[in-house]
Structure 1
């Protein structure tokens, strides 16, 4: 009798752990066709897989005695949230996150078939004492659609992953890249598959494949570098980016992976849903429902870096008060007031990595940073000042240049006397000065109005 073909696995370097689960390789690097895979939805799905495999069959621990309840996997809500203080208000946060999961449609394709399916088919939250009451035990029930259920409970080729490491990662892209690289960590080549950079963007961002693509340099700056830094800081692997080029153009990406032999640090995992962050958003004047939507749709490091920046601005006694801290925060988040370096530092600080400031400087070199909102606005004002200068009569122009020269830095003043405004450095300095003379210093209101005009 022929022997059964053994299942292909990617084992962990250390021994087995009660916090490990088997994730089918088909579910690693998923391409989303509808909805959005955020950090929260990725973590929630992985926890569902972990608990489903631990339970083995649906129906166990069902808090209500109905035939339908027997089709669900049931776990205490605190097991999912990792927060013993989970109350009715926090239940509302969880509802938002699982609704996001149900909105996600993914597709899987192999040599024989193509499948499009929801990631999770149904979710229930049950409290026998009443959903709005603080008493009683709250249960979380979930069910997978047929194809996904089969992949969860009977994976063929799979990778063993650790819940511990996934809880330490603070961005959706970091978690997605970690899973992909962990799959290839024990391959003899220690190399991931080689794919088009556009494929990597879809797999890491969690955005629908129908959405437009950023320029590669921004994908590398905003996603790849911070994700690599975080993975290397807190997980059991180290990854290195390999770029394959055609001429000067980056076409394909690949990653070199090295296993870390050191054991996991005995650190508490951060909560799946951080009610404290929601509360801080609400203190800015953002309604709870909108604050929840912001929380589940943005990476943790970006959100925290921006929130910290805005809170510092609100507390500042040197700047005029903000008319709307909520509007300022939304604009700051949308327009990247927090620089990639700020985000990288927050990522490594959240991970508890030593020397995070130095590491962050290596992650995002200043030369690779795109123009900030303030820099874009300054450039716009300089162009408008140039237009104004060209429209006035020659005598007024000469008077302005004479007025500027004593205030100009020595290098600019020398260039101005030698070559006039034909000098690039003189142009830059003069028109920046003229813009300030005409319209005053840049205010937060100016930046907010400019940010809204860019939408």
Structure 2
């Protein structure tokens, strides 16, 4: 489980140097299949940047690695405007269990993990090992800035940070790629860009569909469709914006088991350009329309970004329609639109009555104020618990300090004055003033005014509890 808590790190973290954006990524972390949940494009990019940071900076005393969230965002070409999404991506890394699938037969005997028996022979070709991407992650505030500290599973930590065999991954190239398939394929092929042969190993189509998609337990698509809708566009983008050029080579025929490999070579001169911002336009647009990112990723994997964009256009027109029929489950509606427009061997079922039930519009300002009120109520509970834990003598001192304000208020009655004299602070009229005086002195005048990151962290914690 990931934890979200406010802590003060014991080790300072220097700003990320921008002089070298090359990550030495262990070969066993290249061809992975996410099992438990779908691993998003941005999540994989952020994981690469966190590895890059961990390889260049010392661990904290308890074995973790720390960085400002803004450095991770800049590392994969995004902006601080996306900071509210970082917690979600980091939680993905903790919750995502992946299977490592060796790229070559020679890799099967090279990885020695704590708790695993080494391969008996290099002849073992289909060996797979399972592990979480992160063991734990903590998000907190330091000096008014969002930071994260993360921990790698002990069994794979050394291979990740000091790999015996690695691929040279250019983070500036990663930043330019807009799909998970593109990022995963680039990382695999980058291993071979300086190889004399320049050829990846041969694998059957099922292998490639598993390691080049977000995963999450869904059934892999038919390779023909995967190739046309995801693989070929990813190859075209890699060839256009990165330092390598790749081309697919298919072997076999209808009578034989087909295999696929890629020819890879480094371009004579890499195109010099400033890394583009991560393309989160589709994600942000879908989020504004009420479609969860996990649902969007699944539909994009199946239909491709262009078709999903068409579906969003159709759904937006329906949302803006003035008729009484409104959309309750927008993820299901988008799926139905895509199924209708791009049928895949079946007749789509009509939307249920519940999905077509009129949707009550919520004013964003009302929703935001409700979140602020909930945060303040929770903050008041925290301050009360903090004050309750004080020694009795210290409580008396704070009650005496708040007494003039209480006694001079219009609400001062004989009963209130008696309670103040007896240092009985539990009454709501008295505790409100006492706790405000205490919290203002200890935490500053803005102790009950949440920042944007406070609200983000609070909403994440609330969602997890629900």
CA deviation after TM superposition for structure 1 residue 176, in Å: 0.8
1:102 is matched with 94
The correspondence of residues 9-20 of structure 1 with structure 2, limited to 5 A, is 18-20=20-22
- Kept in 1: contact 2:98–2:130 (CA 8 A): yes
Higher RCO (C-alpha under 8 Å, 6+ residues apart): 1
Q: Are the structure 2 counterparts of residues 262 and 202 from structure 1 closer, same or farther at C-alpha, using a change threshold of 3 Å?
A: same
2:254 is matched with 247
1:53 is matched with 55
TM-score when normalising by structure 1? 0.59
Bigger helix share: 1
What SS is found at the alignment partner of 1:255?
strand
**Cα distance per residue 1:296-343 (max 9 Å; x no partner):** 7675994576246523663599998694467566543x3683xxxxxx
Q: Are the structure 2 counterparts of residues 36 and 329 from structure 1 closer, same or farther at C-alpha, using a change threshold of 3 Å?
A: closer
What SS is found at the alignment partner of 1:195?
coil
Structure 2 segments unaligned to the other structure (5+ residues):
1-17, 103-107, 110-117, 120-127, 354-466
Q: Are the structure 2 counterparts of residues 377 and 297 from structure 1 closer, same or farther at C-alpha, using a change threshold of 3 Å?
A: closer
- Kept in 2: contact 1:21–1:161 (CA 8 A): yes
2:173 is matched with 165
**Cα distance per residue 1:74-126 (max 9 Å; x no partner):** 11111112289636xx5542221111111122244723256432111111111
**Cα distance per residue 1:146-185 (max 9 Å; x no partner):** 1331112211111111100011111111111111111112
Q: Are the structure 2 counterparts of residues 281 and 96 from structure 1 closer, same or farther at C-alpha, using a change threshold of 3 Å?
A: same
Match of residue 122, structure 1, among 136, 139, 163: 136
Q: Are the structure 2 counterparts of residues 226 and 84 from structure 1 closer, same or farther at C-alpha, using a change threshold of 3 Å?
A: closer
CA distance in 2, matches of 1:449, 1:229: 37
Q: Is the counterpart of residue 155 in structure 1 residue 163 in structure 2?
A: yes
CA deviation after TM superposition for structure 1 residue 247, in Å: 3.0
- Kept in 2: contact 1:78–1:84 (CA 8 A): no
Count of residues paired in the alignment: 311
Q: Are the structure 2 counterparts of residues 204 and 79 from structure 1 closer, same or farther at C-alpha, using a change threshold of 3 Å?
A: same
Q: Are the structure 2 counterparts of residues 138 and 260 from structure 1 closer, same or farther at C-alpha, using a change threshold of 3 Å?
A: same
- More displaced 10-residue stretch of structure 1: 159-168 or 90-99: 90-99
1:281 is matched with 286
- Kept in 2: contact 1:314–1:321 (CA 8 A): no
Q: Is the counterpart of residue 178 in structure 1 residue 186 in structure 2?
A: yes
The correspondence of residues 59-78 of structure 1 with structure 2, limited to 5 A, is 59=60, 70-78=62-70
What SS is found at the alignment partner of 1:139?
strand
- Kept in 2: contact 1:173–1:223 (CA 8 A): yes
- Kept in 2: contact 1:201–1:219 (CA 8 A): yes
1:225 is matched with 232
CA deviation after TM superposition for structure 1 residue 46, in Å: 0.6
Q: Are the structure 2 counterparts of residues 308 and 211 from structure 1 closer, same or farther at C-alpha, using a change threshold of 3 Å?
A: closer
CA distance in 1, matches of 2:307, 2:83: 26
CA distance in 2, matches of 1:192, 1:164: 23
Q: Is the counterpart of residue 235 in structure 1 residue 202 in structure 2?
A: no
Q: Is the counterpart of residue 374 in structure 1 residue 382 in structure 2?
A: no
Q: Is the counterpart of residue 192 in structure 1 residue 159 in structure 2?
A: no
CA distance in 1, matches of 2:151, 2:330: 40
TM-score when normalising by structure 2? 0.58
1:314 is matched with 316
The correspondence of residues 304-383 of structure 1 with structure 2, limited to 5 A, is 306-307=308-309, 309-311=311-313, 314-315=316-317, 323-324=325-326, 327=329, 330-332=332-334, 334=335, 337=338, 373-374=340-341, 376=343
**Cα distance per residue 1:346-383 (max 9 Å; x no partner):** xxxxxxxxxxxxxxxxxxxxxxxxxx733649996xxx
